[in-house]
Amino acid sequence: MTTLEGNPPGPIVLWLASRYENIELAQAALDHVCRHAGVPSEDEHWIGIALREAVANAIKHGNRQDSTKKVLVSFRREGDDLLIVVGDEGEGFDPVHIADPLAPENQMKTSGRGIFYIKTFMDDVAFSRGETAGTVLTMRKSLKAQQAKGA
Amino acid sequence: MKTSVTTRDVGDVKAIDLKGKITIGAGDVQMREAIHSALNAGCTKIIVNMKEVSTIDSSGVGELVGCYTTATHKGAKMKLENLPAKISDVLTVTQLITVFDVYDNEQDAINSFG
């Protein structure tokens, strides 16, 4: 983990091997960021769910659990927002073709809810192609309302 | 809180006690194996006690859905009890809260089997 000096903390960047246990490292970094940013624990929980889903997707669907491929996770404050970026080294995917988990025909499926949870718990979510390969997920959460609630 | 999945018998009901994170690579497979083990042993009444679950992700939710479907196909009934608010919220946003039989406490869940 690399951190830059500053309060609130500067960017935090992690490069994780594609193993599920490393989701806990991403969660630990988020806990650190949220503690410094004064994010109430209730909101930290939901941001954490979104982060866990994003990293799990990068490991499972992006890097196909190839532990030699890395998952990038970065945290950055931008004004009142927390910006989280999760990138993989996979072949990329088209977010347009994600099935709606609320559709009756999908309700009893055992998968396909991760991105829905990310979109539900974050304020803004965008997918793009990585510079060389893979998918980059950028998600944003406004901390202004959260900090006001926690005050 | 360390993740654990344990089972106990309450009369003819099999209770599965979940603790900690029911997430990908952690408690999700443990939970599925415990429920499938009960079903394969011929148990037809299963309650999943979620009182001490701290976090559930889409993988854990997917396993719950899969176990519910498997139980139904085998003629068994699987019910959820003691859902913490955050776990209930995760099931609510995906409209699964109306699919599962959910009870506030264990006695109500057991009584519901009739």
Could you read off the pLDDT of B49-83 as tens digits, one per residue? 999 999 999 999 999 999 999 999 999 999 999 99
In angstroms, the CA A4 to CA B14 distance is: 52
For chain A, give the longest Cα–Cα distance: 50
Which ranges of B8-84 would DSSP assign to H, the alpha helix?
A: 27-40, 58-73
Amino acid code (one letter) for B59: S
Burial A36-65 (b: 16+ CB within 10 A, else e): ebebeeebbbbbbbbbbbbbbbbbbbbbee
Put simply, the answer to whether B62 touches A116 (Cβ < 8 Å) is no
Q: Say which of B63, B68, B94 has its CB closest to residue A101.
A: B94
Token code pair at residue B108: 């109500």
State the complex-level ipTM: 0.94
Residue ranges of B 9-28 with Cβ closer than 8 A to chain A: 23-26
In angstroms, the CA B60 to CA A54 distance is: 15
Q: Residue A22 — φ and ψ, nearest 5°? A: -75, -10
Residue B98 has pLDDT above 50, yes or no: yes
Residue ranges of A 61-100 with Cβ closer than 8 A to chain B: none
Amino acid code (one letter) for B21: K
In angstroms, the CA A127 to CA A95 distance is: 7
R_g over Cα of chain B: 13
Residues B18-38: pLDDT tens digits?
999 999 998 999 999 999 999
Mean pLDDT of all residues in chain B?
97
Token code pair at residue B2: 């360390």
Amino acid code (one letter) for A2: T
